[in-house]
C-alpha cells in the first residue's frame, strides 16, 4: 500500500500499527476502529464504508470509488471462484491480496479503492465486503439526496430495464433511487427489489410486475 493511504487509514481507523506491523492488523481491526457512521450503516461494514467515504471525499472521488466497488461486486456475483475467495477462510490473506490485485487490474480498479480492498483482505474481513459495498452505496446516495436500493435479477438487466425500474421506484417513492444491481440465477426469473432494509410494498410490486412480464418477453 502507498504511504499516503497508510497515513490516511491511520487517521480514520487509528491503525498506525497495522501499517507498520501487518501481523497485528487483524487483531487491531476490531478493537481500534473508531470512525463514526451514519445510523443507516452500522457494525464493521458501516465503519469501513464510512472511513472509505471520508477518504474518497478528500480526493473528490466518491463517485469513482462507488463505481469501482459496484464493478467489483458485479464480478463477485458472476464468478464462483471469486465468491469462494471472498467467503472462504481457507485462503491466506497474502493469497487473497494477490488474487484481488489481479482481479482489480482486469477491472481497472486503482488508487483508493484498490488499497481499500487490499486492507480488507489483509485484515481478514473479505466475507463482510459485500455489506461494506452496500454501506458505501448508501452513504453515496445520501450525499446526493437519493435513496439507496438493491435489485437482484436472475440475469443482468439491460440499460432499458434498469432505467424502467428506476422510473417505477421514483414514481412509488417520490425520490430518485441509486441502485446496486446483483445477479442470482437461483431466483429463476423476475426481480427482488429492496430499498434500505425493507422489501417494496404492494403498490410498487404491482408496477414491477409489468417489468417482470416485459423481461420474460425479451428473454
Instruction: Tell me the domain boundaries of the chain.
Output: 3-141, 146-218
Q: pLDDT > 70: what percent of the chain?
A: 69
Q: pLDDT tens-digit profile of 91-147?
A: 999 999 999 999 999 999 999 999 999 999 999 999 999 999 989 998 998 898 888
With 70 as the cut, is the pLDDT of residue 84 above it? yes
Query: 210 falls in which pLDDT band (50, 70, 90)?
Result: low
Query: 32 falls in which pLDDT band (50, 70, 90)?
Result: very low
For 16-85, give the DSSP string: HHHHH-GGGHHHHHHHH------TTS-HHHHHHHHHHHHHHHHTT-HHHHHHHHHHHHHHHHH-HHHHHH
Instruction: Give the pLDDT confidence score for residue 201 in this predicted structure.
Output: 45
Instruction: Give the pLDDT confidence score for residue 82 in this predicted structure.
Output: 94
With 80 as the cut, is the pLDDT of residue 28 above it? no
With 70 as the cut, is the pLDDT of residue 53 above it? yes
Q: Among residues 66, 78, 67, which one has the least CA distance to residue 154?
A: 78
Given a contact cutoff of 8 angstroms between Cβ atoms, the answer to whether 166 and 176 are in contact is: yes
Q: Among residues 165, 157, 161, which one has the least CA distance to residue 193?
A: 165
Classify 3-141 by CATH class. mainly alpha
CATH number at 146-218: 3.40.30
**pTM attached to this predicted model:** 0.66
Q: Which three cell numbers stand for residue 190?
A: 423476475
State the burial class of residue 50 (Cβ atoms within 10 Å of its Cβ: 0-12, 13-18, 19+): buried
Amino acid at each position: 500500500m502507498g504511504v499516503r493511504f497508510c497515513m490516511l487509514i491511520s487517521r480514520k481507523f487509528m491503525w498506525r500499527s497495522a501499517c507498520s506491523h501487518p501481523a497485528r492488523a487483524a487483531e487491531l481491526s476490531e478493537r481500534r476502529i473508531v470512525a463514526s457512521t451514519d445510523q443507516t450503516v452500522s457494525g464493521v461494514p458501516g465503519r469501513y464504508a464510512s472511513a472509505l467515504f471520508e477518504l474518497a471525499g478528500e480526493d473528490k472521488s466518491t463517485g469513482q470509488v462507488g463505481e469501482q466497488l459496484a464493478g467489483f461486486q458485479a464480478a463477485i456475483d458472476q464468478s464462483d471462484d471469486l465468491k469462494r475467495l471472498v467467503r472462504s477462510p481457507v485462503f491466506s490473506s497474502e493469497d487473497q491480496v494477490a488474487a484481488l490485485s489481479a482481479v482489480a487490474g482486469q477491472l481497472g480498479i486503482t488508487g483508493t479503492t484498490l488499497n481499500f480492498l487490499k486492507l480488507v483482505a489483509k485484515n481478514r474481513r473479505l466475507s463482510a465486503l459485500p455489506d461494506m459495498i452496500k454501506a458505501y452505496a448508501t452513504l453515496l446516495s445520501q450525499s446526493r439526496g437519493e435513496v439507496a436500493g438493491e435489485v437482484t435479477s436472475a440475469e443482468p438487466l439491460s440499460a432499458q430495464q434498469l432505467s424502467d425500474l428506476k422510473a417505477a421506484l421514483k414514481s412509488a417513492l417520490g425520490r430518485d433511487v441509486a441502485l446496486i444491481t446483483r445477479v442470482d440465477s437461483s431466483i429463476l426469473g423476475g426481480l427482488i427489489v429492496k430499498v434500505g432494509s425493507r422489501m417494496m410494498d404492494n403498490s410498487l410490486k404491482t408496477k414491477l410486475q409489468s417489468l417482470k412480464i416485459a423481461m420474460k418477453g425479451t428473454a
